[in-house]
C-alpha cells in the first residue's frame, strides 16, 4: 500500500517532528511504501540527526519536493503542497496530515490527521490563541485576517467517513470533538524518547543538583516568568533555575532578563536559547525538578522527558495535558496554582521531602516511542 505524509521537518523543531518520524518508522516497519511531500526536503535529515535516529531511515522514504516560496509559512505551505501535488496524492491509499486538513484533501481516498492542537479549533472556539495576537491592535488584525484566509483554505468540518483523527491528549480531544466533529477519533499520546533518556542518564552519571529546569519554547504562553518570581521567594539561595528552549518571542526574553535583574536573582537564573538536544538532556540529568508552568498545554512531552531523567515534575493545575494525562492530577508529580505555591513546592522537592512515591520512570515508559508505534500499527490496521 502507498501512504503519503505531508510535513516540513525542521521548520518548527520540536515534538511534532518526532511524532512524524515515528509514524514514518511505524509505516516502514509494516512494509508500506512511504512518500514524504515537503517543501523542505533537507529537513528530515536535520530532524533525524536532532533526535539521534538512524540517518538511513530517510533512504527508505520517497521524498517529493514541492516548490513553495519560503516566505509562505505553516500552515499555508502545507495547503500549497497539497494543492500542487493533489493528482499524485489521489493515487495513495492514505494521506497523513498534522493538526489541520487542507480543503483539496476532500478529494483523497482516506485522510489520517494527527492532532497536536489544530488552528481550526483555535478559530472556531477562540481557544489557545497565541499571546501576540490577543493583546495588541496589530495582533488582533493579523489574527482576523488569518482566520478569514484559513477558513477558505482548510476544512472546518471533519464529519466525513474518509477522515480519521488521532489526538494527542484529553484537552485536544475535547476541543476537536466540539469544534470539528470527526466521525472517527482516537487518543494516542505523542511519543517520547524515554529509553534514550534513561540510557543517557545512566551513561552520563551526573549527580543531581539543587536545580529546577524549564525546557520549551520561550514565549509568554509558557508562563516562564512564574518560575523566576517563585525562585525569588525560595529562601535557599543555593537553588538555581535553568531556562532552556527555542526562542519564539524576543520581547518576552528581554522581559525575563529584566525580571531576574529587578528581583536581584540574575546569578541564580541561567537562560539558554535555541538549545541543542545534548544541552537539554544534560539539564534534565542534572536537575532535581522540572517546572512546566504553561497556562494551556495540550500534552507536554518535556514533562515525560523530565520524569525519565528522574526529575520531579511540577506543572500548572487545570485542564492541561501535563496535569491530566501525565501526572494524573498529582499521582506522579505536583501541581500549582500560584507563584507562592510553586515556590513552596520547589523548596519541598529540593529538600527531598516529597510525597511522590510512585515510580516516575515506569510511568514515563508508558509514553515511549515503541508504545506509540504499537498503537499506530493498531490504528493503521483499522483504517486500511
One pLDDT digit (tens) per residue for the chain, 384 residues: 999 999 999 998 788 999 999 999 999 999 999 999 999 999 999 999 999 999 999 999 999 999 999 999 999 999 999 999 999 999 999 999 999 999 999 999 999 999 999 999 999 999 889 888 988 899 999 999 999 999 999 999 999 999 999 999 999 999 999 999 999 999 999 999 999 999 999 999 999 999 999 999 999 999 999 999 999 999 999 999 999 998 989 999 999 999 999 999 999 999 999 888 899 999 999 999 999 999 989 999 999 999 999 999 999 999 999 999 999 999 999 999 999 999 999 999 988 877 777 799 999 999 999 999 999 999 999 998
Helices 194-204 and 277-286 pack at an angle, to 10 degrees, of 70
Widest Cα–Cα separation across the chain: 64
Q: What is the model's pLDDT at position 336?
A: 97
What DSSP designation does 311 have?
Answer: P
SS3 364: helix
Q: What is the model's pLDDT at position 24?
A: 98
Q: How many residues does the chain have?
A: 384
Q: What is the model's pLDDT at position 200?
A: 93
Contact between 258 and 229 (Cβ < 8 Å): no
∠ Cα 209 211 214 (to 5°): 140
Please count the other Cβ atoms lying within 10 Å of the Cβ belonging to residue 198: 17
For the chain, strand residue ranges (E) read 2-6, 33-38, 62-65, 94-98, 111-115, 163-167, 184-187, 209-215, 240-245, 269-273, 287-292, 312-316, 334-336
Contact between 35 and 62 (Cβ < 8 Å): yes
Q: How far is CA 167 from CA 66, 110, 323, in A?
A: 27, 17, 17
Q: Which residue shows C-alpha cell 500534552?
A: 299
SS3 358: coil
Please count the other Cβ atoms lying within 10 Å of the Cβ belonging to residue 181: 14
Q: Give bridge partners of residue 63 from the DSSP assignment.
A: 36
In angstroms, rounded to a whole number, what is the distance separating the alpha carbons of residues 278 and 361?
20
For residue 348, give every residue at least 6 positions away whose Cβ sits within 8 Å of its Cβ, in sequence order, or none.
Answer: 354
Amino acid at each position: 500500500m502507498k501512504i503519503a505524509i505531508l510535513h516540513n521537518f525542521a521548520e518548527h523543531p520540536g515534538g511534532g517532528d518526532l511524532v512524524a518520524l515515528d509514524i514514518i518508522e511505524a509505516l516502514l516497519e509494516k512494509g508500506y511504501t512511504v512518500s514524504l511531500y515537503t517543501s523542505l526536503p533537507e529537513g528530515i535529515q536535520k530532524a533525524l540527526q536532532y533526535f539521534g535516529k538512524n540517518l538511513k531511515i530517510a533512504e527508505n522514504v520517497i521524498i517529493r519536493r514541492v516548490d513553495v516560496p519560503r516566505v509562505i509559512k505553516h500552515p499555508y505551505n502545507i495547503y500549497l503542497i497539497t494543492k500542487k501535488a493533489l493528482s499524485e496524492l489521489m493515487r495513495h491509499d492514505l494521506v497523513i496530515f498534522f493538526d489541520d486538513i487542507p480543503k483539496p484533501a476532500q478529494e483523497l481516498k482516506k485522510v489520517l490527521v494527527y492532532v497536536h492542537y489544530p488552528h481550526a479549533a483555535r478559530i472556531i472556539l477562540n481557544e489557545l490563541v497565541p499571546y501576540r495576537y490577543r493583546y495588541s491592535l496589530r495582533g488582533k488584525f493579523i489574527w482576523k485576517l488569518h482566520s478569514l484566509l484559513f477558513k477558505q483554505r482548510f476544512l472546518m468540518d471533519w464529519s466525513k467517513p474518509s477522515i480519521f483523527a488521532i489526538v494527542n491528549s484529553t484537552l485536544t480531544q475535547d476541543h476537536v470533538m466540539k469544534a470539528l466533529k470527526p466521525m472517527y477519533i482516537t487518543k494516542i499520546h505523542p511519543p517520547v524518547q524515554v529509553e534514550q533518556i534513561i540510557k543517557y542518564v545512566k551513561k552520563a552519571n551526573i549527580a543531581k543538583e539543587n536545580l529546577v529546569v524549564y525546557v520549551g519554547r520561550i514565549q509568554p504562553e509558557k508562563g516562564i516568568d512564574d518560575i523566576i518570581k517563585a525562585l525569588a521567594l525560595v529562601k535557599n539561595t543555593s537553588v538555581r533555575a535553568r531556562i532552556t528552549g527555542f526562542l519564539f518571542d524576543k520581547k518576552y526574553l528581554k522581559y525575563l532578563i529584566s525580571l531576574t535583574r529587578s528581583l536581584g536573582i540574575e546569578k541564580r537564573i541561567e537562560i539558554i536559547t535555541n538549545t541543542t538536544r545534548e544541552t537539554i538532556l544534560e539539564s534534565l540529568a542534572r536537575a532535581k525538578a522540572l517546572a512546566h508552568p504553561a497556562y494551556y498545554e495540550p500534552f507536554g512531552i518535556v514533562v515525560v522527558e523530565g520524569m525519565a531523567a528522574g526529575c520531579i515534575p511540577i506543572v500548572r493545575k487545570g485542564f492541561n495535558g501535563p496535569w491530566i494525562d501525565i501526572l494524573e492530577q498529582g499521582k506522579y508529580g505536583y501541581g500549582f496554582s500560584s507563584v507562592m505555591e510553586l515556590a513552596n513546592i520547589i523548596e519541598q522537592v529540593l529538600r527531598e521531602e516529597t510525597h511522590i512515591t510512585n515510580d516516575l520512570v515506569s510511568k514515563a515508559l508508558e509514553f515511549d516511542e515503541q508504545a506509540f508505534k504499537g498503537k499506530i500499527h493498531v490504528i493503521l490496521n483499522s483504517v486500511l
